[in-house]
Structure 1
């Protein structure tokens, strides 16, 4: 290797106040490291957030970190020595919430353009109608109304005009907007009633009584068929391999899959067996919380019995995931106070608070079963009502037996409250948050709720002050590409977001009192996320004995202008002492 050119952004700090070496046996004269990286700014993210000059690696582990002079003494005849010429080195980044198997194959049939407006949505529908036989379904997934210029669902009439001879579903998570043909095929008319005992409702025009086309938390009522090409298992594995490589390009070395199942776990395992796995995977096993408690317990038992429930540094089945409420992007998150009548979300009921899928007693039973059997439960909980309900369920279990060491989790936790945060601190509850939601959706949320109700929206500073451990994630669901993905999996944009709290299209920060430091932003994607997956003693910082998961970047994110952080480029990514990018 030839090293790197010096740059102002990567200049090494002038001096170290203390010369010291973290060391393993190599520092004591036993053997020699495979690699030494020196003349660097190595951000250890250790307990004291120390900055070092050099690092030695042997096999898949870091063996020493310290000043150039001391680490260079460890070099032997076969040690490969790399002069980084002042570049910054960070621990490999970790994403606490993603959905790689489905995201990887989302565009397998055809490329889906970005949609920024209702006009873009309708143009895509017309384009699909022109190539699909009459009667074929046209489905748009996860183009959120909060991110469209008009900030609303496309209307039934607009969908009808775009594709009168094709059933159309504009689906955003648990909610959807349908055209007339889709409603007809679903048997949904003015007299339709939900009779399966599950959540949701069909919105109807208050004057005519006819369905508006919007379904709340009940897209299950419509049976969509598709002639789109489906990937084979081999093609799915190859698409997943490519996506994990794309993660490596932005510095990710570990991810949490928040909807694992037997089929997708086997897909990861196949990549591992073929030595093609380039990210470490923490699996959260998905269960349907609407199922009878006996079936949920059986699913928990399957997860516990899975061979990969025993620790494996590459694939670990350790969590349990279910849905507790709807979403903030669709106007169905469960709130403590009514959402309010809204054109943005199509809400007409002034008392509407969103949708809660699991009542308190069953919620308590589910999380207690998981915790008692050693799994880390988490639930999709977005609204402040759902977040508090989940925190209260964990606190109730904590009265039965201590839960702190089991690290019960809350996924998303966008709308929080002092009461929920206090319970999290008290019981050791952790959370995975997605900063990109603040970036993408903050301006729409301000337009709907106003600033006061957003006081505890992603409150990173308050959480840190209360000692609550939270990690940064993406909730990546679709497409490959640093900035074209939904949701964006770029961790550098995530760091920039928590450092500025500036939503897209807005010059004003959203509650700047919740801004955190650069060091804390780095921890969100490193040691904090390692803690969320019980691996803080194995990764998340650059210390001897830990896995050699690290990245080399093109700028000093501790000193560069804050707006430059979002565009950070990763020069190299290493996982377990092996370079996986480029």
Structure 2
């Protein structure tokens, strides 16, 4: 029984307690930020379009009509009138190389090169700046994008820089001048250890200067200023801010080395990251198999394997074949004699780096460790080889829970799509390749062999999760970069199937709808990141990543999609980019 005095105290105190609890409950429903009178494209299951969204802390509090959302307004709520503007979930890039890309122009600005003459002019300028004997390196100027659609020859590079070794590198493939070949010990008697090919003059037997998957043997020496670690971090954050400027709030680094992982970790600890980062840790494809399997297991033990939604390791990445831009992608049928790619062997199919007896154990090791396995697989021969490996592992251990992936997956087939759907394999595709390279690919392969080139509509129809990315490799700037990381350009390409310098559309039957193109850069990529319960759509309880656009991508004229601009980009409910008014 309560004593009278105690009872009187409780009677006086209970109203205050009730008011306090009611105030806490009200505060819990009070938004920090409301965006209303807009077109909020939620990208939920039904692709609902609402009027407003409320944010509390780093989460979405409510999505709905203006009236429903404004009911969460409190005395401290910031309210923004969208004036009819469109809001999307924060955009996600499924494939980028931020650490290398951010440092490309650290030493000096690199001009755009569209012709062989441009390449040679740059080589001459670097020879003058560096002096005799110093290495000159030109990276990722793809021959498919040059007007002449060929490599600069050994002789041309010799004339441009007779006293300097020159490496014109397009990844694992390259064209070298005479000093570079000599310093690297590559002559008519050179025999590589592992996959690759030295192209030789059929008359003389001497190297032409073109190497297929052999850049690892080039003994290039660094030139220019050496960046400090603070330089690297500063440039990386500058790049991330530029990602934000085009609405990007998350990316997957599809080939991170140990130094990159450590750098990301430091920036995360400092609270400096303005994008979410998923990491595919690089794993070699050469060397003792036991060492490679041990490395895969070490990746699984890294603390960032259990990272949060801002930074985490999602899996591993390796290289299964060469490139379509360099004539080394592994195809099911021969490439054919080609002046463009300097191919004179009618039976040549490209280069496959990992034989089945090594690939299957690598895939199995990743699956058993719960890691997402992915491999650079450009040609249809490589795509089928990777899918066959997934199928073999799947006989004993289901692969789908680890969200296995095929990276690039440019050349596919009806059978490959069906197999990917059956196994739960995802694909990581970059429309920039279609946009920039269709002109040359059509000249090389013809329309028929491009029927299943980036077959996005068929992938969506089959239920395969396809994520859109850029393969951003060099330079800061969403349209000047190699490759362009502007997601609105990527959406436009996926919707129109149009390419630079190419008349008409490349198999328009594979074009996405506008809604599908938005999913391609949002919720689908959230699945690739294992974060679809946290990001990728604007739904109650999810992280408040969103972007306000200057136009409605669902209704604007088709040509204007590529011109869209982010006005404000939010990460966890806080603006990380705001376009000056």
Give, in whole Å, the separation in 1 of the partners of 2:375 and 2:25.
45
Which residue of structure 2 aligns with residue 108 of structure 1? 106
Which residue of structure 2 aligns with residue 201 of structure 1? 197
Query: Contact 1:338–1:352 at 8 Å: present in 2 too?
Result: yes
Give, in whole Å, the separation in 2 of the partners of 1:134 and 1:433.
42
For structure 2, the residue ranges without an aligned partner over 5 or more in a row are: 1-22
If you compute each CA radius of gyration, which structure gives the higher value, 1 or 2? 2
Which residue of structure 2 aligns with residue 18 of structure 1? none
Q: Please state how far the C-alpha of 1:362 moved relative to its aligned partner.
A: 1.1
Give, in whole Å, the separation in 1 of the partners of 2:160 and 2:358.
44
Which residue of structure 2 aligns with residue 178 of structure 1? 176
**Residue 389 of structure 1 aligns to a residue in which SS?**
helix
Query: Contact 1:174–1:219 at 8 Å: present in 2 too?
Result: yes
Query: Contact 1:105–1:236 at 8 Å: present in 2 too?
Result: yes
Which residue of structure 1 aligns with residue 63 of structure 2? 65
Is 1:222 the counterpart of 2:218? The answer is: yes
Query: Contact 1:125–1:162 at 8 Å: present in 2 too?
Result: yes
Q: Please state how far the C-alpha of 1:529 moved relative to its aligned partner.
A: 0.3
For residue 34 of structure 1, the aligned residue among 32, 35, 55 is: 32
Is 1:443 the counterpart of 2:439? The answer is: yes
Is 1:56 the counterpart of 2:54? The answer is: yes
Give, in whole Å, the separation in 1 of the partners of 2:530 and 2:191.
46
Which residue of structure 2 aligns with residue 306 of structure 1? 302
Query: Contact 2:244–2:577 at 8 Å: present in 1 too?
Result: yes
Over 3 Å counting, the alpha-carbon distance change for 1:27 and 1:501 in structure 2 is: farther
Query: Contact 2:91–2:250 at 8 Å: present in 1 too?
Result: yes
RMSD of aligned residue pairs (Cα, Å): 1.3
Is 1:133 the counterpart of 2:139? The answer is: no
For residue 350 of structure 2, the aligned residue among 347, 350, 354 is: 354
Which residue of structure 1 aligns with residue 229 of structure 2? 233
Is 1:279 the counterpart of 2:275? The answer is: yes
Over 3 Å counting, the alpha-carbon distance change for 1:509 and 1:515 in structure 2 is: same
User: Scaled by the length of structure 2, what TM-score is found?
Assistant: 0.94
Give, in whole Å, the separation in 1 of the partners of 2:458 and 2:216.
38
For residue 99 of structure 1, the aligned residue among 97, 100, 110 is: 97
Q: Please state how far the C-alpha of 1:310 moved relative to its aligned partner.
A: 0.5
For structure 1, the residue ranges without an aligned partner over 5 or more in a row are: 1-24
CA deviation string 1:429-459 (max 9, x = no partner): 0010000100000111000000000000000
User: Scaled by the length of structure 1, what TM-score is found?
Assistant: 0.94
Give, in whole Å, the separation in 2 of the partners of 1:104 and 1:422.
38
Which residue of structure 1 aligns with residue 456 of structure 2? 460
Q: Please state how far the C-alpha of 1:490 moved relative to its aligned partner.
A: 0.8
Which residue of structure 2 aligns with residue 525 of structure 1? 521
* Regions of 4+ moved over 6 Å: 25-29
Which residue of structure 2 aligns with residue 19 of structure 1? none
Which residue of structure 2 aligns with residue 77 of structure 1? 75
Q: Which moved more, 1:72-81 or 1:88-97?
A: 72-81
The size of the alignment, in residue pairs, is 556
Q: Please state how far the C-alpha of 1:300 moved relative to its aligned partner.
A: 1.5
Give, in whole Å, the separation in 2 of the partners of 1:274 and 1:507.
49
Query: Contact 1:27–1:64 at 8 Å: present in 2 too?
Result: no
1:171-570 to structure 2, matched below 5 A, reads 171-194=169-192, 196=193, 198-570=194-566
Give, in whole Å, the separation in 2 of the partners of 1:26 and 1:478.
50
1:133-152 to structure 2, matched below 5 A, reads 133-152=131-150
Give, in whole Å, the separation in 2 of the partners of 1:167 and 1:500.
43
Query: Contact 2:297–2:365 at 8 Å: present in 1 too?
Result: no
Over 3 Å counting, the alpha-carbon distance change for 1:27 and 1:427 in structure 2 is: farther
